[in-house]
Amino acid sequence: MENARITSTPYDDVFRTLLNDCSPLIIPLINEVFGEHYSGQEKIVFSPNEHFLNQQGGNEDERITDTSFKIIGKETKKYHLECQSSTDNSILVRFFEYDTQIALDEGSIKDNILTVTLPHSAILFLRHHTSTPDTLTIRMVTPGGIVEYDIQVIKSQQYTLKEIFEKNLLLLIPFYIFSHETRFAEYEQNKTKLGTLQEEYEQIKNNLENLLKQRAISEYTRCTIIDMSNKVLEHIAVKYKSVKEGVKAVMGGKILEYEAKTIKREGIEQGIEKGIEKGIEGTVSILKNLGVPTQTILAKIQEQYKLSPEASKKYL
């Protein structure tokens, strides 16, 4: 059997990668979970995901959040999202630690009053049961009264493929395989049933390609979703060779060196190069119109843009 690279938090890693590398995917999820109406034109500003909590004795304990960020639109709101493969009793404690530390990071003191703003928080459960609640609640009993706030629960398996694409919840696609997890043994033994799974992934692939043609997503985003889907598949179906190979045959194999990052990096590099060229051309044009001598122009752009004498001459 093909060996899969195992990390301690593979699904967290995928979730964090999608949020940070494909940030436009965040807005539809926030709209869905919190009932917002963001247009997608808002600015997303990420916060550091490492937080240090002060412990008794003066020691600091590091905590890693999946993602915390601000959405800056008509108003600014803070959000905190976590991904969990299944429920556990410690999640509320961790959320309280994270949320209060996120609030303290940007707290302010004025007139002897400390003001902190807790983020809007949500958790994505990749597996859920009938007992999994729709919200989690943190209740703080303070000398000034009781304060409560809810943590919204997202149950990925509740969304059909149709709903995922209709609501533009593309961030959930890599985790869609969880909805088939209980049937892996059947797919492994029955090619017809495996074919049904492959048909669904053919639909995913075609829908992504259509969104790309419509310019609703970039090639980078499409590749990232496919690459992260394969990463989830490697871990969840590690014991099911036919399932892994069957889905990969449809979606495509491993994207080496993280092809999506390469696409983005190359695009950034090309953009920088073109921007520099436009800047040089603009500088030369202005100096020529001012009657600056050619040799002075050459010296100026060589110094400003760190060009060799040969490279600078082509702009004249």
pLDDT at 273: 63
Cα–Cα distance measured from residue 118 to residue 124, given in angstroms and rounded to the nearest whole number: 19
Under 8 Å between Cβ of 126 and 178: yes
pLDDT at 53: 44
Cα–Cα distance measured from residue 29 to residue 166, given in angstroms and rounded to the nearest whole number: 12
Helix (H) / strand (E) element for 212: namely: helix 191-213
pLDDT at 260: 53
pLDDT at 51: 41
pLDDT at 265: 65
Helix axes of 219-236 and 241-251: crossing angle, nearest 10 degrees:
170
How do the pLDDT tens digits run along the chain, 316 residues long? 344 444 457 898 899 989 988 899 999 999 999 999 999 989 998 886 554 444 445 444 444 455 889 999 889 999 999 998 877 778 899 899 989 988 888 889 999 999 999 999 999 999 998 888 899 999 999 999 999 999 999 999 999 999 999 999 999 999 999 999 999 999 999 999 999 999 999 999 999 999 999 999 988 889 899 999 999 999 999 999 999 999 999 987 555 455 556 666 656 666 656 666 667 677 777 767 666 677 777 777 777 766 777 776 666 6
Under 8 Å between Cβ of 243 and 188: yes
Cα–Cα distance measured from residue 291 to residue 293, given in angstroms and rounded to the nearest whole number: 6
**pTM higher than the cut 0.75:** no
CB-based contacts of 304: which residues, under 8 Å, 6+ apart? 283
**What digits encode the pLDDT tens for the residues 58-70?**
444 444 455 889 9
**What digits encode the pLDDT tens for the residues 204-227?**
999 999 999 999 998 888 989 999
How many residues appear in the chain?
316
Cα–Cα distance measured from residue 282 to residue 277, given in angstroms and rounded to the nearest whole number: 9
Cα–Cα distance measured from residue 57 to residue 111, given in angstroms and rounded to the nearest whole number: 30
The 3-state DSSP class for residue 44 equals strand
Under 8 Å between Cβ of 93 and 138: no
